[in-house]
Structure 1
Amino acid sequence: MFNWISPFNYDFAIAAIPIQIILLVFYGFRRNLPIWQSTCFWLVMFSNLVMTTADIISCEMNEIWNEFPLWVMYAINHAYFLGFIIRGWALFAYTSESTHAYKKGDFVYRIITNAPAAVAVTLILSTPWTSAIYTIAEDGYHNCSLYQTIYFSTYFYIFTSLLLIVLNWRKLSRRMQGGLLSYNLLLLFGILIRKQFYHMLVTSYFSILCIIIIFLTSENPDLHRDNRTLLLNKDALDLIGYDYWEKKIPFSLLTIAIHNYEASKTIYGVTQLNDSLRTLSSWLSKSYPRNFVFYTRNGTFVILIRGNLQKEPEVVIDDWKAKFDELKNRHFDILPLKVSVMLIPSTIIADNVSITSDLARYAMNSAFSENHKGNYVFTQDMVETVNKRKAVEKAIKKAMNDNSFEVYFQPIYSTKEEKIVGAEALARLKDSELGFISPADFIKIAEKNGDIMEIGRQIFEKVCIFLGAINVERLGVQFINVNLSPVQFMNTNLAGEFSDIADKYDVSMDIFDFEVTESTVEDYEMIHKQVLDFQSKGSELSLDDFGTGSSNLSSLMSLPIHVVKIDMSFVHSYFNGKDKFLPDLIRLFRNANMKVVVEGIETLEMKEAIAEMGCEYEQGYFFSKPVPPEEFVSYMEKMMKENSGDKD
């Protein structure tokens, strides 16, 4: 044990020093993100170590001040006070960066938030001549009139940090919310304890607790690194990209996507695929040492090229191709993968910084098709496509919140009864800004982001509201087909939820025939369960758009599906003289005791020819385009009168 000279208790401060040194060493030997947020964390740790060490030493030296030169006494006390101020400012700067509170060009914000620290530092540095903060007189160390300035600065930064957290709360992840709020409150508590127990040096201890919280919630290098490839991950890409945008640093993105990544797991096995990923990752890091390489999961990589491109985009792509071909030749045995690349130049990013992540996502998803067309560099047309997608996503969210999706009905004709007997319910979306949005556009987007679950529920409820308000028997409506997305099929309680909605409007489930696509049928175990669930409620399932998927025909025939709808592409090919197997296809399903619906009927010739092939149901513009509920009722009433007239 040391025999301390001063009356201060150093236990907490001494305990904090080795922890701080360990964190500094560990953090220093790991690759950190090149962003101001990480720099602030460095500054917090370093200033806290200086403050803690100087605090202990100065307390001891102040007891025997006359044994040291005056400049040494001022130097060690200055180290403590400057460390104290800089640590408080750096913690605030870290909070400001984490909440993205600072806006480019907001000099007023910078002046206001930097002023307290600047004033405190100025007073500290002037102290040997002005005795503003403290003095070392003939009788030793004394606090002076402006000593409380250092605490004012600390309180200012803590409360300003808390204000920033509250104002930007919704923009933060839960992890960041908890981390930022807890360490600021903890630091405030530590300062209050220090004021209450003056002779106990606890500030350093609470500071190291704050540093540990920051490290665990956001600054641990492992949080920003992919475990398999050891490359930076998508979170790191987002942070670096945002930081570069704030600092107006130009950068380009080279996206790399492995073809058929999920299928490659089955073809090559997970072990070989992981070996290939590691080989490719190592090669990318060595080939682009001055740039940042990221693995954003699912077989996609991104290279961030800082600054404006030194070569033409086409030359950058040619260099990539040459390098990658050389890699494949050297490692073909462990790297049998094919990749697609897209380059997003800094000029494109500079004009579209707010949607950079969307541009990168589109580049990765569309790289294969664009490369096939000879496109390797992101163009303004692609930007327009991304902007359109963003606008459609916004329209979808608005329609969901407003419950403004519409239901249209397209009649289905029975060749046996020679009349309209049912209809297919179709979702329609009209936006005040975009106008009519094609289902081909909004359904794909809704399936990818999960909104299709809520859209499907709203559409089905509106169908039930409509059916509950009309006399279906009087109109001759025997069934209504409702489309189900493969994403909806993942809901194991789908039949129960739909049954509850139908019961709410006193609609029997046996009027519904739910259509599923071939991609859904690929999961035979799931569809068996769903078919049984819907049948238990009185409904049936049918196969929609046969011919657009790749399901196994023999397995398909074994499913308890009673109706198959043949895609209109077969119909058009048949009547255009390209393919002649449509009659055989209809005969195949009829022999399997399945009824057939053929869509795409546009002429009387097609109607009569398809009926002669033995098809039970027909659907298409020859009968009617999809129409709103009111028009569908009028249409059915008209058909009922015509049928009655024919009988008379």
Structure 2
Amino acid sequence: MDELREIQKALITDIASGQEKGRNSMLQWISPFNYDFAIASIPVQIILLIFYGFRRNLPIRQSSYFWLIMISNLIMTSTDIVACEMITIWTDFPVWSLYAINHAFFLAFVIRGWALFAYTMETTRCWNDSRLFMILTALPTVVMILLVLSTPWTHTIYRIGENGYENCDLYQLIYTGTYFYLAVSVGLIARSWKRLSGRMRAGLLSFNLILFIGIIMRKQFYHILVTSYFSIISIIIIYLTAENPDLYRDSRTKLMNKEALDLIQRDYREKRIPFSLLTMSIHNYEASKSIYGVSMVNDGLRIFASWLMKTFPHSLAFYIRNGNFSLLLRGHPHMTAPQMMEEWKSSYDEFQKSYTGTVPMKISALLIPDSILSGNEIDLGDLVRYSNARSYDENRRGHDVFSDQMVESVRKRKSVERAVKDAIAANRFEVYFQPIYSTREKTVQGAEALARLQDPVLGYISPLDFIPVAEKNGDIMEIGRQVFEKTCIFLKTVDTKKLGIDFININLSPIQCMSHSLLRELSEIAGRHGIPMSMFDFEITESLVEDYDMIQMQIQGLQSMGAELSLDDFGTGASNLTSLMKLPIHVVKIDMLFTRSFFDGKAPFLPDLIRLFQHSNMEIVVEGIETKEMMDTMIKLGCDYEQGFYFSKPLPPEEFKAFMAENSGTV
């Protein structure tokens, strides 16, 4: 409507003389405007509204803003067309109706602009919980709405006068407000860039850019209504990148997925909506897939998911992957946490009685009550991960409600995660050496290199604490590099022959062994410090035997460089002995727990196992030697190497150097 006044007089003359408006359009319109783009967008908007409305979208503020965007855009598009037609023959309509239809357009235009900004603010999580920021950024919209509403009396935006529709002095404020919100939106995207996913970055940037192009095109081609066309493109981008319900739905169970839980719980916690979360985990899920097959396990998942939705229709059910479910119970419960779990157990017992699936569905559950969630700023994802991993053990101990002690365990894990990240960044991981005794040579001939961590805040952190954390988040790769490099640096500074150091054992984590760059990285580090690869015996864990092809490739590669490989922690995994014997491994390391079980009378078959390894021409290293009796017994059984506190605890480099000098008779 920007240039309507200039063409209006000629247009009325044309109408009076009965001239046709030559337009390449399916319909003959009164006004000179081209509605093709606007009309084409209307069916798309209606279909999207209906489709989105009939799908189960997320009950969060982000979805509410998307609703507002779609509705206001449809109103804006429709009223824009009607208003252009009405003001062309304005004398045929009451003045109040002209104001009404134009008000509807301007208000929808203003609200749509704010809703798009609010959507960006909500998805970027930038100041979306700041009341002051929301008030300040809403002020332009409030001002524009007031100006529009007051227009019949103040004529600030437009007027219906003797010559029909006319733009007034403050008309450009409508577009200025749009430019303001686009600029702030881009600023929010930039500020939250690092924490946004690639999909969200692309979606937010592209739809804001397209909106800007649409405004420019509208200004350049005033007679073509293109704003709605660019708006619907933006809406489709939002839908495809963030609002499509299928993005938040697990395809197997039809329940909402982990991403949906993350968004909903974050929205509830920010708005201080109370809720509790029941986590459920299928016991032996991975083993069930191996035994019964993926198809049958999926059938069991679907049966349980369907039961969850029918039994708890007023709660939100989620499937978190790997046999883990969650149930979000909104509001303050009318029962105590123990009572809620009793009700759950009763319902679950009924499910077990009626369950017709082939795969057993033994489920452990932990309730994270509102008192835990509201009283702690800890991330819910960390609590859920703890529940999924520990619910079976906690249930066996009689615990089915998340306790403060469990929260402390989660906090400790987060602190360890932070300490690991900091230590990696500062290269603060230390290497200690635990001597390995040769039963044949009656002396210490080598050592195992072990990672140690001393944090400025937490102090000494046990490997039992930081290794699982590092393996879970992938930091174990960098820890392995630092330990290997520092081992090479130590070997470079000592006379290994003089000290009697024939070999150093290096642990390789499962994640390291799955890396195709492992061989190159190890070779480069050793070569940089002039240490031959034949100096190292790399220890792989028993669980890796399951990936036979990968471990075969890594073993052959390392052996071609002169290195040796050992099977570490034998007795803690579930590998097949036949597969183990096929691998070109010549050293097997018996785990300390296995050793202790033997001396406690719980593993009487250990001598037979040792004989089996001997017949396969494999050398045997036994861990956990703590007394002379244990040492002598294992020597009699035929073990080649022994390691444990009886010989020495793990030692820092200088102490290990002194230890070896003393044991080899040199200074």
State yes or no: 1:458 paired with 2:482: yes
Residue 181 (structure 2) aligned to one of 133, 136, 157: 157
CA distance in 1, matches of 2:646, 2:360: 51
Give the C-alpha shift of residue 576 in structure 1. 4.5
For 2:60, the equivalent position in structure 1 comes to 35
1:24 to 2:77 alignment: no
Instruction: Give distance in 2, aligned partners of 1:282 and 1:580.
Output: 48
Q: Which amino acid aligns with 1:95?
A: T
* 8 A contact 1:245–1:353 mirrored in 2: no
Residue of structure 2 equivalent to 1:299: 323
2:611 aligned to which of 578, 587, 590: 587
Q: Say if 2:102 is the partner of 1:97.
A: no
- Aligned counterparts of 2:558 and 2:631: Cα–Cα separation in 1: 32
Where does residue 69 of structure 1 map in the other structure? 94
Q: Write the distance in 1 (CA, Å) between the matches of 2:29 and 2:136.
A: 42
Structure-1 separation of matches of 2:390 and 2:499:
47
Match of 1:241 in 2: 265
Equivalent position to 1:531, from 552, 555, 567:
555
Q: Against the structure 1 CA distance between its residues 526 and 169, is the aligned structure 2 distance closer, same or farther, given a 3 Å change threshold?
A: closer
Q: Which amino acid is the alignment partner of residue 89 of structure 2? A: I
What per-residue deviation string (whole Å, max 9, x for no partner) do you get for residues 603-629 of structure 1?
A: 333333333333222212222111111
Distance of 1:563 and 1:521 partners within structure 2: 14
Give the Cα–Cα distance (whole angstroms) in 2 for the partners of residues 74 and 367 of structure 1. 64
Whole-Å separation in 1 of the counterparts to 2:255 and 2:357:
23
- Corresponding residue pairs, total: 642
Task: For 1:218 and 1:449, locate their aligned partners in 2 and report how far apart those are by CA, in whole Å.
Answer: 26
Matches within 5 A, 1:235-314: 235-314=259-338
Deviation at 1:588, TM superposition (A): 3.4
The yes-or-no answer on 1:434 pairing with 2:458 is yes
CA displacement 1:66-98 (0-9 Å, x = unmatched): 211121111111111001101101000100101
Instruction: Report if the CA contact (8 A) 2:378-2:411 is conserved.
Output: no
The one-letter amino acid of 1:458's match is Q
Which residue does 1:544 correspond to in 2?
Answer: 568
| Cα distance, 1:330–1:9 mapped onto 2, change above 3 Å | same
Match of 2:230 in 1: 206
Shift of the alpha carbon at 1:570? 3.7
Deviations 1:210-244 (A, max 9, x none): 11111111011111111111111111111111111
Asked if 1:116 corresponds to 2:133, the answer is no
Task: Report the counterpart of residue 131 of structure 2 in structure 1.
Answer: 107
Alpha-carbon distance between aligned partners in 2 of 1:512 and 1:357, rounded to the nearest angstrom: 40
Determine the C-alpha separation between the residues in 1 that align with 2:208 and 2:189: 10
Specify which of 364, 381, 386 is matched with residue 340 of structure 1: 364
For residue 91 of structure 2, what is the amino acid of its counterpart?
A: N
**Correspondence for 2:353:** 329
CA contact (8 A) 1:561 1:594 kept: yes
Q: 1:555 to 1:134 in 2, by over 3 A?
A: closer
Q: CA deviation at 1:159?
A: 0.8
**Corresponding residue number in structure 1 for 2:70:** 45
CA shift, 1:581, in A, is 4.5
Alpha-carbon offset, residue 347 of structure 1 = 0.6
- Determine which of 497, 522, 545 is the counterpart of 1:473: 497
Tell me which residue corresponds to 2:33: 8
Alpha-carbon deviation of 1:325?
1.8
Residues 185-232 of structure 1 deviation map (CA, whole Å, 9 limit, x = unaligned): 111111112112222211111111111111111011111111111111
Amino acid at match of 2:230: F
* Partner SS for 2:136: helix
- Counterpart of 2:387 (choices 355, 358, 363) is 363
Q: CA deviation at 1:560?
A: 2.2
Contact 2:299 2:357 in 1 (8 A): no
2:14 corresponds to: none
- Tell me the residue number matched to 1:187: 211
Partner of 2:622: 598
* 2:78 paired with 1:56: no
Deviations 1:446-489 (A, max 9, x none): 11222112211221111111112211111111111111112222
Q: Which stretches in structure 2 are left out of the alignment for 5+ residues? A: 1-25
Deviations 1:317-376 (A, max 9, x none): 121122122122222344632111110001101122441111011111111111111111
The answer on 1:630 being equivalent to 2:654 is yes
Q: Secondary structure at the match of 1:622?
A: coil
Once the two structures are TM-superposed, the CA of residue 303 in structure 1 deviates from its matched residue by 0.6
Distance 1:103 1:88, change over 3 A: closer
Measured after TM superposition, the shift of residue 103 of structure 1 is 4.5
Q: Which moved more, 1:87-96 or 1:134-143?
A: 134-143
What is the CA-CA distance between 1:271 and the residue it aligns to? 2.1
Identity %: 59
The one of 446, 456, 462 equivalent to 1:422 is 446
TM-score, normalization: structure 2? 0.93
- The secondary structure found in structure 1 opposite 2:562 is coil
Q: Distance in 2 between matches of 1:533 and 1:397?
A: 30
- Measure the CA separation in 2 of the matches of 1:617 and 1:335: 45
Is 1:490 paired with 2:487? no
Distance 1:378 1:601, change over 3 A: same
The Cα of 1:582 is off from its aligned counterpart by 4.3
SS at match of 1:565: strand
TM-score (norm 1): 0.96
Q: Are the counterparts in 2 of residues 405 and 428 from structure 1 also a CA contact under 8 Å?
A: yes
Quote the offset at 1:30 in angstroms: 0.7
Pick closer, same or farther for the CA change 1:583–1:300 going to 2, 3 Å. closer
Residue 584 (structure 1) shift: 4.0
Q: Deviations over 1:87-143 (max 9, x none)?
A: 101000100101111353x33212210100000101111111211211111221111
| Residue 104 (structure 2) aligned to one of 79, 92, 103 | 79
Verify the 8 A CA contact 1:328 1:335 in the aligned structure 2. Answer: no
Unaligned runs of 5+ in 1: none
Secondary structure of 2:379's counterpart equals helix
1:171 aligns with 2:163: no
